[in-house]
Amino acid sequence: MTDQLPKTIRVSGQVFKIVFDDNLANDEDKFGNVNFRTLTITINGTCPIPVKTDALWHEIIEIINAQNELKLSHNKIQCISNALNQIASDNKDLI
């Protein structure tokens, strides 16, 4: 997932479309968001690829958090997504 983001991603059996928006919350330092009604993950299109990948992992954990009502804080979601992103990037044959 480091060179290019996939067009869709399946999380817990649901297929989410991945789209890019160059104007996504540029003023808020927000790089991604997920819409559960349309099953769409939107990533800020202006970010470099490592930031986009990080944002995608973040939204994946947001989805798991919401689906399972884990009530994880944004900070914990950030920690878990950063760790998983790092593991995926350090272990290319794993994922």
Min separation Cβ 5 and Zn ion, Å: 17
Contact 71, 65 (CB under 8 A): yes
Min separation Cβ 58 and Zn ion, Å: 6
- State the residue number with the nearest CB to Zn ion: 74
d(CA 64, CA 72): 10
Residue 72 φ/ψ region, left for φ over 0, alpha for ψ in the -120 to 50 degree band, beta for the rest: beta
In this chain, which stretch among 18-26, 33-41, 42-50, 68-76 interacts with Zn ion, using CB under 5 A? 68-76
Min separation Cβ 74 and Zn ion, Å: 5
Binding site for Zn ion (CB under 5 A): 74
